[in-house]
Chain A
Amino acid sequence: MSTTNNIAQARKLVEQLRIEAGIEQFSPFIRHDNRWQRMSTTNNIAQARKLVEQLRIEAGIERIKVSKAAADLMSYCEQHARSDPLLVGVPTSENPFKDKKPCIIL
């Protein structure tokens, strides 16, 4: 347990020093199981491969036109406008936060 803590602490220190020395943000490969990753050529290739994997997934998804998406957003707003208390306002008697007394509690 203490070894894991020492590695975690050491990593935190390196992170801090990198920031102070003006180096790029910490490596995205600091995994949750706290394994220490040294910056080697193999790691850079692994990172690059992961990025390519991710971009392939994102490039491959189905998309619709903005006009269709916008129309759907608008129709949702219209459908629900009447039941939106902040949009249309509800009478004082129905809104528990609006006081029925003439003065407002601040």
Chain B
Amino acid sequence: MAAQEVAAQPSDTLATLKTESETLKTKLEEERAKLHDVELHQVAEKIEALGQFVMKTRRTLKGHGNKVLCMDWCKDKRRIVSSSQDGKVIVWDAFTTNKEHAVTMPCTWVMACAYAPSGCAVACGGLDNKCSVYPLSLDKNENLAAKKKSVAMHTNYLSACCFTNSDMQILTSSGDGTCALWDVESGQMLQSFHGHAADVLCLDLAPSETGNTFVSGGCDKKACVWDMRTGQCVQSFETHESDINSVRYYPSGDAFASGSDDATCRLYDLRADREVAIYSKESIIFGASSVDFSLSGRLLFGGYNDYTINVWDVLKGTRVSILFGHENRVSTLRVSPDGTAFCSGSWDHTLRIWA
């Protein structure tokens, strides 16, 4: 839908525009409320409850010298890239726990890292305000830093990065309040996304079947869904009470979950255009730093700042399990591409594979 240019009227004053925006906000809420005929957990009452889950740490990846900030799986379901506060980016073989590659970034706090779909490169960035791509060499002796390519340039820290469906384009989000789409080869910005009123902390690309959109979450407590072709924000959701640290699409692409410093995770349905579930407990008072769904979307894993991982039944809204093991905040969490395990990274310098 092309943006409707609001024609500049000479009578436009700040006051009239403010009134119109208030009216529109109310109208938006009314429209959304009209369709709110039932709660998700009510509809889910008729399905069977989940049984007891036994999930344990199967591997512990040790080697980072400081807080692990981000991790990503390779499409081959066994390799993992992780980045840390000490500036190191490590590629691991999760089956054997061996380190395959290590790169030292010129900056500390490497807050974002991503594996390329081909498995031949990794992207990372952080306080250097850039996103750089490192092609992975089969030759262990080769210095990876030599082939580094600077792709994205922001005016504040890089908070998240993600390859689109190919190695050729990268999506980034930054503390400067914007997201951007870049061409890896030329370093050219293909599209920029403005709309957040504060740092953007996370983003997730929609599953390929559902088209060219992505969702971002920020310190302005808003989650925004963007059209990648036009740069337009097509939907936004503002129900969290604090910074949104993590957003992740539901496997079907029709919904997404978010984890926030307000100690809740929430599920937003895109077609109903509203929040449909809140995952919270009075006993959980620390923020959720990262969330991810299991393959079927029935389970939501949340890594929290109180060192635990809570497993939620997405449909019923209840917690099914709580996992202990990390000795400091869980900062990042991703389910493997084939859903057989998930990996969590923590400020305790380690990564754990759970299954």
B327 within 8 A of A: no
A residues whose Cβ falls under 8 Å from a Cβ of B? 8, 25-26, 28, 30-32, 34, 41, 44-45, 48-49, 51-61, 63-74, 76-81, 83-87, 90, 95-99, 104-106
CB contact under 8 A between A54 and B195, given known A48-B17, A61-B234, A104-B58: yes
- Cα(A66)–Cα(B255), bound, Å: 12
B138 within 8 A of A: no
Which of A61, A66, A80, A104 has a CB less than 8 Å from the CB of B235? A61
Interface of A is mostly: helix
B-chain residues with CB within 8 Å of residue A84 when the two chains form the complex: 294-296, 298-299, 339
A87–B296 CB distance below 8 A: yes
B28–A73 CB distance below 8 A: no
B251 within 8 A of A: yes
Shortest CB-to-CB span from B303 to chain A, Å, is 15
A-chain residues with CB within 8 Å of residue B6 when the two chains form the complex: 49, 52-53, 56
- Cα(A26)–Cα(B8), bound, Å: 25
A70–B296 CB distance below 8 A: no
B272–A63 CB distance below 8 A: yes
B-chain residues with CB within 8 Å of residue A54 when the two chains form the complex: 195, 233
- Cα(A51)–Cα(B276), bound, Å: 25
B252–A73 CB distance below 8 A: yes
In the complex, residue of chain B having the shortest beta-carbon distance to the beta carbon of A96: B95
Which B residues between 15 and 37 are near A, CB-CB below 8 angstroms? 17-18, 20-21, 24-25, 27-28, 31-32, 35-37
Task: Return the CB mask of B46-62 against A: 1 if under 8 Å, else 0.
Answer: 01001000011111100
In the complex, residue of chain B having the shortest beta-carbon distance to the beta carbon of A72: B254
CB contact under 8 A between A77 and B296, given known A64-B272, A69-B271, A70-B40: yes
A-chain residues with CB within 8 Å of residue B155 when the two chains form the complex: 8, 30, 32, 34
